[in-house]
Amino acid sequence: MNWIMRTLDREIKKHRTNNPFEIAKNRNIIIRYFPLGQTLGFYMKNVRHQVITINSDIEDYLKKFVCAHELGHAILHKDENTPFLHKNTLFSKDKIEREANEFAVHLLLHGENLEDYETKFDVLRENGIPLEMERYIFF
């Protein structure tokens, strides 16, 4: 089991839920909604406050996935400034995004019996996860 899955399991056990909104609330992470155009959401930490911003104009099912993805950043990369890292260091922004996607998919699918579905796309569609995340599902 990789470090992301260990971290995810700890969070779910600690908060007794896989709901990203509840976990964020329990961790005192501020969630706010603004119209963001093409941006789905983002995570930032200023001083001591962690903030997840979600595009208020997207569908509700997608808000849950975006919250889970940004919660992944809040937990896995809580002190990272990704634009700074991307431009000025060797640490890949793409790697950070992949880790947050993996966290989000597995958080939302925690407890799901994947054998009940015929395809990966059925799993994604039924759980409100974008189809592009199929690479993070293993049967």
Catalytic residues: 70
The Cα–Cα gap between 7 and 23 comes to 13
Give the whole-angstrom CA distance, residue 39 versus residue 137. Answer: 24
Nearest 5°: phi and psi at 81? -105, 95
The tokens of 80 are what? 């990272």
What pairs with residue 55 in β-bridges? Answer: 34
Tell me the C-alpha distance between 121 and 53, whole Å. 27
If 0-12 CB within 10 Å is exposed, 13-18 middle and 19+ buried, where does residue 4 land?
A: middle
* Residue 30 DSSP symbol: E
d(CA 7, CA 34): 29
